[in-house]
Copies of this chain bind each other. A is one copy, B any other.
Amino acid sequence: MRVLITGANGFVGRELVRCLLARGSLRGRVIDSLLVLDTDLQGLPEDPRLRRHYGSITDVALMRRVLADGIDVVFHLVSIPGGAAEEQYELGYQVNLLASLELLNQLRNKALPPVLVYASSVAVYGAQLPAKMNEQAELRPQLSYGTHKAMVESAIIDLGRRAEVDGRVLRLPGIVARPREPNGLRSAFMSDLLRAFAEGDAYRCPVSAQATAWWMSARCCVNNLIHAAELDSNQWASQRVWQLPVLHLSIAQVVDALAASYGQERRSLISHDPDTQLEALFGRMPPLKTPQARAAGFSHDGNAAALIRNALNPATPRHLSLTGDTIHVAANQA
């Protein structure tokens, strides 16, 4: 079993690599080779099953080499995030749209239709969401990012109909808690709030306490990605696009859960300075019903406390974080 992950060194990609290596199998077969593709692979563990491919998915010749020995399952995660893709249109166009189409076109020429799990986004819906939302909501993307995700979804449905690529599309909500670094995501505040609270830093939140958003931890997200790969091809051939179940929580509810884990006194570190556009794009998310996805075995984190636990692992005391930087600083201070 040969498995490829694009964007393997991203926030979700690293978690998926760890999880697949730990499982050791997929779709009932042992994973011999886990091909990881990214422009930087430093965050990945040492493991004899890893096949490292440095480079960009926009490099057509590289992709041909990566796929030359055949492929059974592809997790297509890499993308230029919404904010960055909006400002650097050409980059988003090349990565999010053209490279994804080229990947699909290379996959459709394989002897057996490979399984493809595609990380799409709730950005396909745009900001004009119905008050009560379900899995049949209309697509009206308002950013190039969401437009390109929706276009790739269409291509995957079409190649599924043609039985050339066995695609499964997951529409992801905001995944937390990403590292606190510039990442081009307009929804970055969701992770920044969690990280700041966990680390006891002051945080000025760019949406109001009443703002409601859709949440999922990276751990839960990876479980869903793997579940998507495991779905039976025959049973689910007519359903290729899944809106993942999400936790629908206000910022206030998330802060309550954080305070319960990290101490009520930290509430005072959080202030609000709502940005009108962010509040409109990410702060007015309605409840979202996903009975089909739930029936097919997809799930959200369960509740706010579990979200915080899965996303931040608060049981681990902060001073045990053993990154290179931390050790370096500690040595200097000593």
Binding site for B on A (CB under 8 A): 89, 93, 97-98, 101, 105, 108, 138, 141-142, 144, 147, 150-151, 154-155, 157-158, 161-162
Contact = CB atoms under 8 A, between A and B. Distances in A.
Contacts of A141: 154, 158
B98 A162 contact: no
A76 B144 CA distance: 22
A101 B105 contact: no
A145 to B, nearest CB: 10
A158 B93 CA distance: 11
Interface of A is mostly: helix
Copies of this chain, count:
2
Contact of A147 (B98, B142, B154): B154
Given A147-B158, A150-B154, 16 more contacts: A89-B108, A93-B105, A97-B101, A98-B101, A138-B138, A141-B154, A141-B158, A144-B158, A144-B162, A147-B154, A147-B155, A147-B157, A151-B151, A151-B154, A151-B155, A154-B154
A158 B141 CA distance: 8
Nearest to A145: B158
A142 B154 CA distance: 11
Interface centre among A98, A108, A138, A151 (most CB of B within 10 A): A151
Contacts of A150: 154
A31 to B, nearest CB: 31
A141 B156 CA distance: 12
Nearest to A105: B93
A142 B162 contact: no
A106 B101 CA distance: 19
Contacts of A89: 108, 162
Contacts of A147: 154-155, 157-158
A151 B149 CA distance: 11
Contacts of A161: 142
Contacts of A97: 101
A102 to B, nearest CB: 9
20 contacts: A89-B108, A89-B162, A93-B105, A97-B101, A98-B101, A138-B138, A141-B154, A141-B158, A142-B161, A144-B158, A144-B162, A147-B154, A147-B155, A147-B157, A147-B158, A150-B154, A151-B151, A151-B154, A151-B155, A154-B154
A299 to B, nearest CB: 28
A162 B141 CA distance: 13
A157 B97 CA distance: 15
A309 B122 CA distance: 50
Contacts of A142: 161
Interface centre among A142, A147, A155, A158 (most CB of B within 10 A): A158
Nearest to A86: B162
Contacts of A154: 141, 147, 150-151, 154
A155 B98 CA distance: 12
A64 to B, nearest CB: 16
A298 to B, nearest CB: 22
Contacts of A162: 89, 144
A55 to B, nearest CB: 22
Nearest to A104: B93
